[in-house]
């Protein structure tokens, strides 16, 4: 009977060693949850529960990183990474020294594994995400973080077996055939995409005569102005393109007479649905 109990104990220890990589701290019973308010530069405000341990407030490394538009991964058992083109945050199990965009930063405490989550000090993670701890409630333990940035740099859409991707680094539209993998890039000229101040959306419209209109709006969240990009496809080939900057009102694409209305910085073109021919050009 004693041998059986020891075997069970060893099995539990081995299971814990798998769940908790060597070098990571396991949070103890003194840990508790407190409220964390996250205020983002892109306008989001969220409230979550987070870990308070030994007087230090922690935040979930992967969860908060994902909310910031970063991709997460483990490099081996001891290195956790958040990354995008313009941001890279690395923490090491068992070490207080992290790396932010190539710079070494002292987190003050080592990372902590707790109930399958990896936690790091919120003071460090807020700063790494270009925000700051703005307030701590000494009675409740609530922590408020402001100015957090969103690092999303890739925008996706799909339609009829094709994927449509805009990457912030280039500002062009990349179209990929989901079956063959063939790629085609269409220059758009979108410059300095910043999701902290702007919204970018992709929409798809089918006309009665089966033309496809891909509509891209890049709008300033504060002023309401937006840039409008329209691409018209026929039989999967691009036949028309228009770009208009600084619009304030919504644009009507399909007129009651069945024509398509394309707008650019100087003119409005009336397009025949079906052939794609230009029927009329009207100066703005």
73-89 pLDDT, tens digit each: 999 999 999 999 889 99
Mean local confidence (pLDDT), 8-29: 41
Kindly give the pairing relationship between strand 25-26 and strand 112-114.
parallel
Residue owning tokens 């300033």: 220
Alpha carbon 117 to chain centroid distance? 20
In a domain, 13, yes or no: no
Cross-strand bridge partners of residue 112:
25, 119
**pLDDT tier at 116, thresholds 50, 70, 90:** confident
* Whether the predicted pLDDT of 126 surpasses 60: yes
- pTM greater than 0.95: no
pLDDT digits (tens, 9 = 90+) for 177-191: 999 999 999 999 898
Q: Percent of the chain at pLDDT above 70? A: 89
pLDDT digits (tens, 9 = 90+) for 229-239: 999 999 989 99
Handedness of CA 182, 237, 186, 230 (dihedral sign): negative
**pLDDT tier at 157, thresholds 50, 70, 90:** very high
In a domain, 7, yes or no: no
In order, the DSSP letters of the chain are -HHHHHHHHHHHHHHHHHHS-TTPEEP-TT-EEEEEEEEETTS-EEEEEEEEETTEEEEEHHHHHHHTT-EEEEETTTEEEEEETTEEEEEETT-SEEEETTEEEE-SS--EEETTEEEEEHHHHHHHTT-EEEEE-TTT--EEEEEE-----EEEEEETTEEEEEETTT--EEEEETTT--EEEE-----S--TTTEEEEEEEEE-TT--EEEEEEEEETTT--EEEEEEEEETTEEEEEEEEEEE-S----B-TTS-EEEE-SSEEEEE-TTT--EEEEEE-
Identify the pLDDT of residue 96. 98
Tokens representing 194 are 């910043």
Q: Of the residues 93, 128, 148, which one is the last residue of a structural domain?
A: 148
Q: Are residues 187 and 141 in the same domain?
A: no
* Whether the predicted pLDDT of 10 surpasses 50: no
* Whether the predicted pLDDT of 269 surpasses 70: yes
Q: Are residues 110 and 160 in the same domain?
A: no
Q: Are residues 144 and 174 in the same domain?
A: no
Tokens representing 43 are 């306008």
Q: Are residues 36 and 102 in the same domain?
A: yes
Task: Give 143: exposed, middle or buried? Use CB within 10 Å, 0-12, 13-18, 19+.
Answer: buried
Q: Does residue 206 or residue 31 have the better pLDDT?
A: 206
In a domain, 15, yes or no: no
Identify the pLDDT of residue 17. 36
Q: Are residues 117 and 169 in the same domain?
A: no
Domain limits at 268? 154-283
In a domain, 180, yes or no: yes
Q: Are residues 228 and 243 in the same domain?
A: yes
What domain count does the chain have?
2
Q: Are residues 209 and 160 in the same domain?
A: yes
* Whether the predicted pLDDT of 24 surpasses 60: no
In a domain, 10, yes or no: no
Q: Of the residues 114, 148, 182, which one is the last residue of a structural domain?
A: 148
Identify the pLDDT of residue 169. 87
Strand order in the sheet with 79-84: 71-75, 79-84, 87-92, 97-100, 103-106
Q: Of the residues 148, 173, 200, which one is the last residue of a structural domain?
A: 148
* Whether the predicted pLDDT of 196 surpasses 50: yes
Q: Are residues 211 and 270 in the same domain?
A: yes
Give the CATH number of the domain where residue 87 resides. Answer: 3.30.457.10
Q: Are residues 208 and 127 in the same domain?
A: no
In a domain, 20, yes or no: no
* Whether the predicted pLDDT of 18 surpasses 50: no
In a domain, 139, yes or no: yes
In a domain, 18, yes or no: no
Q: Are residues 47 and 135 in the same domain?
A: yes
Q: For residues 19 and 114, give the distance between their C-alpha atoms in angstroms, rounded to a whole number.
A: 10
Identify the pLDDT of residue 26. 52
Identify the pLDDT of residue 31. 67
Q: Are residues 119 and 201 in the same domain?
A: no
Tokens representing 14 are 């081995």
Note whether 225 and 197 are within 8 A (CB). no
Q: Are residues 203 and 278 in the same domain?
A: yes
């Amino acid at each position: 009977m004693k041998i059986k109990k020891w075997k069970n104990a060893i099995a539990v220890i081995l299971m814990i060693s798998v769940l908790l990589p060597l070098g990571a701290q396991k949070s103890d019973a003194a840990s508790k949850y407190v409220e964390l308010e996250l205020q983002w530069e892109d306008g989001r405000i969220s409230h979550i529960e987070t870990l308070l341990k030994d007087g230090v407030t922690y935040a979930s490394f992967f969860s908060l990183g994902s909310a910031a538009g970063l991709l997460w991964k483990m490099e081996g058992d001891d290195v956790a990474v958040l990354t995008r083109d313009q941001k890279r945050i690395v923490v090491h199990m068992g070490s207080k020294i992290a790396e932010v965009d190539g710079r070494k930063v002292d987190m003050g405490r080592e990372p902590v594994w707790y109930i399958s989550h990896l936690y790091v000090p919120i003071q460090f993670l807020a700063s790494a995400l270009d925000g700051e701890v703005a307030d701590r409630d000494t009675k409740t333990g609530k922590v408020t973080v402001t100015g957090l940035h969103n690092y999303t740099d890739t925008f996706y859409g799909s339609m009829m077996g094709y994927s449509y991707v805009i990457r912030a680094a280039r500002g062009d539209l990349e179209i990929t055939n989901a079956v063959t993998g063939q790629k085609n890039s269409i220059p758009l000229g979108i410059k300095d995409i910043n999701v902290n101040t702007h919204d970018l959306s992709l929409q798809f419209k089918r006309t009665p005569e089966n033309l496809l209109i891909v509509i891209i709006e890049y709008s300033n969240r504060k002023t309401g102005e937006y840039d409008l990009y329209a691409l018209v496809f026929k039989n999967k080939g691009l036949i028309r393109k228009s770009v208009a900057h600084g619009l304030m009102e919504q644009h009507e694409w399909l007129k009651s007479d069945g024509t398509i209305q394309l707008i650019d910085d100087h003119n409005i073109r009336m397009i025949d649905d079906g052939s794609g021919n230009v029927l009329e050009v009207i100066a703005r």
